[in-house]
Amino acid sequence: MAMSSDKVKSLLHEVESFKIETKEQLENFRLQFLSKKGSIQELFGRIKDIEPAMRKEYGAVVNDLKNKAEEKFIALKEKFEYTPAESTGIDYSLPGEPMQSGAMHPISIARNRIIEIFSAIGFVVSDGPEIEDDWHNFSALNFPEEHPARDMQDTFFVSPTDEGDTKGPMALRTHTSSVQVRIMENNQPPIRTISPGRVYRNEAISARAHCFFHQVEGLYIDTDVSFADLKQTLLYFAKEMFSSDTKIRLRPSYFPFTEPSAEMDISCSICKGKGCNVCKYTGWVEILGCGMVDPAVLDNCKIDSKKYSGYAFGMGIERIAMLNHGINDLRLFSENDLRFLRQFGGV
């Protein structure tokens, strides 16, 4: 027991005199005295060699040594981990400055909601390039050579036509129907997809028009698809997007890639159909164009028009956002005015 007591006293002296000025020295202290193979653990291992009557006293002495070593280790560990405020110039005890949460852009809000509505009835999202060739942007969609959309007044061309180039000049896409062409070229029916994205047109910028805006176009191709299917899909969308009491009407129109074609109006959500300046006192607001896919478009994309039929529709996301939030100037969406954008933080 006397020899063991001398060993304990010797270790206590080592613990108290061990100089610790760095984190590395602190780790060496832990390994030497407090680890499973350290000196103090070795003393605990010798308890079986102590006379039974003396074991309790021996254990108390060794345990006291361990506690002193642990107290020194913990105190110095906190010292090394704590950086005084004076050395950094920062008082970490002060409350933090409040941070304003960001707001989602109203275009993103409308886009996500449109995708959510159509995804619920089986439509998948498709994407494609914003710089397109003439074939995907115009020719495959049944645009005649003399169509005004091919003119410089409507389209931003980025390259001239090269001799022998069957795809035609490259241009910023004027609609996301080009994505639908790519989908039809690479997939066989059934096809049920929507194509959200940015499009470009050479127009004067005003409260109602811009040189770039966002569209969502939809396409459904299968056997025995009818205009009634199109009407019910769009009625479902209008009620989900606006309100359950929203009404729709379809007016005959013309688009090169659909036949028959129509423009769809919804009952004005501002005046509930009674008439106001938003709906020009008609009670109706136009939101999209639609129609049955022209058989020539199906044939251009190597889909058998005698076996399959389909419908297509397209809408401006800005128009949907303006109706939902009562916005009267299209330019607000692209001016990055925080006073405008912060209004959508809770949406």
What is the spatial distance between Cα 151 and Cα 115, in angstroms, rounded to a whole number?
A: 32
Which pLDDT does position 96 carry in this prediction?
76
Q: Mean of the pLDDT values across residues 144-170?
A: 72
Position 146, amino acid: E
Is residue 97 included in any domain, yes or no?
no
Which pLDDT does position 221 carry in this prediction?
97
Which CATH number is 299's domain given?
Answer: 3.30.930.10
Cα angle: 51, vertex 54, 56; to 5 degrees: 125
What is the spatial distance between Cα 39 and Cα 33, in angstroms, rounded to a whole number?
A: 5
Is residue 221 included in any domain, yes or no?
yes
Which pLDDT does position 204 carry in this prediction?
85
Tell me, yes or no, whether 137 and 257 share the same domain.
Answer: yes
Q: Indicate the residue among 27, 52, 84 that finishes a domain.
A: 84
Tell me, yes or no, whether 188 and 247 share the same domain.
Answer: yes
Query: For the chain, first and last CA: distance in Å?
Result: 77
Tell me, yes or no, whether 49 and 119 share the same domain.
Answer: no
Which pLDDT does position 101 carry in this prediction?
74
Tell me, yes or no, whether 206 and 314 share the same domain.
Answer: yes
pLDDT digits over 230-286, tens only?
999 999 999 999 989 899 999 999 999 999 999 999 988 777 777 777 678 888 989
Tell me, yes or no, whether 135 and 184 share the same domain.
Answer: yes
Q: Indicate the residue among 51, 84, 117 that finishes a domain.
A: 84
Residue 62's nearest CA partner among 103, 9, 102 is 9
Task: Encode 117-155: b = buried (16+ Cβ within 10 Å), e = exposed.
Answer: bbeeeebeebebeeebbbbbbbbbbbbeeeeebbeeeeb
* Edge-first strand listing for the sheet containing 309-316: 124-125, 191-200, 212-222, 309-316, 284-293, 258-267, 248-255
Which pLDDT does position 88 carry in this prediction?
62
Q: Is 347 helix (H, G, I), strand (E, B) or coil?
A: coil
Token pair belonging to 71: 């107290």
Instruction: Tell if the pTM clears 0.85, that is, is over it.
Output: no
Tell me, yes or no, whether 24 and 172 share the same domain.
Answer: no
Tell me, yes or no, whether 275 and 177 share the same domain.
Answer: yes
Q: Indicate the residue among 19, 52, 84 that finishes a domain.
A: 84
Pairing of strands 191-200, 284-293: unpaired
The boundaries of the domain holding residue 78 are 2-84
Tell me, yes or no, whether 316 and 201 share the same domain.
Answer: yes
Whole-angstrom Cα Rg for the chain? 37
Which residue do the tokens 């164009």 mark?
289
More confident call, 122 vs 152: 122
| Number of domain units in the chain | 2
User: How long is the chain?
Assistant: 347
Token pair belonging to 302: 């190597």
Tell me, yes or no, whether 73 and 123 share the same domain.
Answer: no
Q: Strands, E, within 27-139: which ranges?
A: 124-125, 131-133
Which pLDDT does position 165 carry in this prediction?
58
Which pLDDT does position 143 carry in this prediction?
87
Question: What band does 160 get if pLDDT is binned at 50, 70 and 90?
Answer: low
DSSP classification of residue 207: S
Is residue 294 included in any domain, yes or no?
yes
